[in-house]
Amino acid sequence: MKKIAIVMVVALGLGGCAQLGTIGTGISLVTKSVTNPVTKQEEAQIELAIDAALAVLRGYKQACIAGTADKSCRVNIQAIQRYTRQMPPLVSQLRGFVDHNDQVNAAVVYNQLTALYTNFKTSAGQLGYNVGNLP
């Protein structure tokens, strides 16, 4: 069990590193504005960045359900879900605004989503999981 916990800490840390902003794709989750519009590629990049972190967290959740993760895993997962459960409506809005080139609203939602992403990673970090830093 200890091994699994250690693996998860490493996995989350590396998963954070693997978040696509630092994996060499040139992703920059910077504050957006009308003069710095959100492109479809950037929308895809933040979605992949979130998904990369989720990929590892899903593994943690599966291990938790299987009873092979650490004993605090349920509490940890629920704490992180407080952030991830706010993401679907924001992601949906962002897609709509980007599709319709509504840059004013796209920038607002993009910035909300990146802030949520930061909180979600910070929350994981407070629980002992280093999920990396935003570039």
CA diameter of the chain: 50
127 forms part of the interface with other proteins (CB under 8 A)? no
What are the two backbone dihedrals, phi and then psi, of residue 36, each rounded to the nearest 5 degrees?
-130, 70
Binding range to other proteins, per CB under 8 A, among 29-37, 54-62, 101-109, 111-119: 54-62
* Degrees, nearest 5: CA angle 116-95-42: 70
The Cα–Cα gap between 110 and 97 comes to: 10
At 65, which amino acid appears?
A: I
Please select the residue that binds other proteins; options are 5, 29, 57, 124, rule is CB under 8 A: 57
By beta-carbon proximity to other proteins, the closer residue of 29 and 57 is 57
Please select the residue that binds other proteins; options are 30, 37, 44, 111, rule is CB under 8 A: 44
* Degrees, nearest 5: CA angle 62-68-72: 85
45 forms part of the interface with other proteins (CB under 8 A)? yes
84 forms part of the interface with other proteins (CB under 8 A)? yes
The CA distances from residue 73 to 2, 9, 81, 117, in Å, are: 12, 12, 12, 20
107 forms part of the interface with other proteins (CB under 8 A)? no
Q: Catalog residues that contact other proteins under the rule CB under 8 A.
A: 7-8, 10-11, 14-15, 17-18, 20, 22-26, 40-41, 43-45, 47-48, 50-52, 54-65, 74, 77-78, 81, 84-85, 87-88, 91, 95
